[in-house]
A and B are shown apart, each in its own frame.
Chain A
């Protein structure tokens, strides 16, 4: 099912009545307070025409949040705290609103001002092609970092890499802090990740990686969107424990990666941790591999 299938029928029907070429490539439906609903594709944006110029009220947004959370916000507090809600099938709804702080930490969100229904993709074979390219260049991959700006297909690529390694007999543990890779929802996986994959769903990345190494004995750990120095430290510890890591990070180029230091003295960069780095963009569509790096050396670059 698509993420918009979980909308109330008025909105659902409006989305389904988009032109076929738009519906086929629809990536996001965005609901924003006091503005019309907009649909986004790779290189287009159209308003939901069936809704006319109707703008969204606060009540509409609150009701939408309640419906997609199955009217059980208490069970989704952790997701709300991270500004998203997961839907069945691995889809997710990003939420914009005001943060509520309690005792110095983010407790939840209120005054919802925007919702982004985003379609999760499952592209089989993308990861395999990437690994084959490294192989053909004579540099087999142990630890791989996928670097890209948002909405460039990092998670889709990681998902396929996890599946590929698992289907080739490796024991893979996916640390899925935001339920994006496995699409775990109410005890079920939204995506097939291979026969040898375990998922630590909802675990913070650093703690999840350490728990995986201690208890699950993985050959490879897959983790999405590395952020703070704690995450990088956990990657370093996993690598020193002999576990390969496949991860993604927000960065537009290798040079940007080089600027992300993580050790106490800032003497090591993220690029030092991983032997292989793929720079991805959405220039020719999501998942466009721009450059491949290995041990600090650029191996390949896409033709301009």
Chain B
């Protein structure tokens, strides 16, 4: 019984550690996929000249985190009511894992997306991509380090608790 209890305590601590580290890992996924969406958006806008909601839907097809954004965006635009920046922001806040500084980059892009000719749109997309790539590097180097440390520390707390209890 003691052995089972100790095992469960360690496992619970490890799971808690994973839970606490989740935002860091989610951010990396959201940024990686977001950059992928931007890369796909470029030909959709510059070459195919598809309208934004269709372009976004096609660009996000392979990126599960971003698919709901495309759906919300399409609904909002289809109603002919809100401006794009507002609709884009409302869609963005449904993406799990984006931090304030990442949202700021996306919001800035939302202000100019669709508002100029294709060549300027490409410039805006590239600028946002470069900014997000910097955020991704930071998320990978510091965020993942923090995530691993959090997991290890919380797991060790579990081990320590078991030792104390025994």
Contacts and interface: CB of A to CB of B under 8 A. Distances in A.
A70 B81 contact: no
Contacts of B2: none
Nearest to A5: B80
Interface in B50-101: 50-53, 55, 77, 80-81, 83-84
A60 B5 CA distance: 66
Given A7-B80, A8-B80, A74-B45, A66 B115 contact: yes
Contacts of A74: 45, 49, 114, 116-118, 120-121
A71 interface: yes
A280 B120 CA distance: 44
A63 interface: yes
Range, interface on chain A: 10 to 19
Given A66-B84, A77-B117, A71 B77 contact: yes
Nearest to B88: A71
Contacts of B49: 72, 74-75
Contacts, number: 55
Nearest to A186: B51
A107 B114 CA distance: 16
A8 B81 contact: yes
A73 B116 contact: yes
A70 B77 contact: yes
Nearest to A107: B117
Contacts of A73: 114-117
A71 B45 CA distance: 12
A17 B153 CA distance: 67
The residue among B49, B50, B77, B117 with the most chain A CB atoms within 10 A of its own CB is B117
A108 interface: yes
A9 B81 contact: yes
Contacts of B116: 73-74
B52 A70 contact: yes
B80 A6 contact: yes
A67 interface: yes
The residue among A66, A73, A74, A75 with the most chain B CB atoms within 10 A of its own CB is A74
A31 to B, nearest CB: 15
B114 A72 contact: yes
A66 B77 contact: no
A86 to B, nearest CB: 13
Interface string A1-25: 0000011110000000000000000
A9 B78 CA distance: 12
A131 to B, nearest CB: 39
A70 B49 CA distance: 12
Nearest to A78: B49
A72 B118 CA distance: 10
25 contacts: A7-B80, A8-B80, A8-B81, A9-B81, A63-B83, A66-B115, A67-B80, A67-B83, A70-B51, A70-B53, A71-B52, A71-B84, A71-B113, A71-B115, A72-B50, A72-B51, A72-B114, A74-B45, A74-B114, A74-B116, A74-B118, A74-B120, A75-B51, A77-B118, A186-B51
Task: Identify the 8 closest CB pairs spanning chains A and B, nearest first.
Answer: A71-B84, A72-B51, A70-B51, A71-B114, A75-B49, A74-B118, A72-B114, A72-B52
Interface of A: 6-9, 63, 66-67, 69-75, 77, 107-108, 186
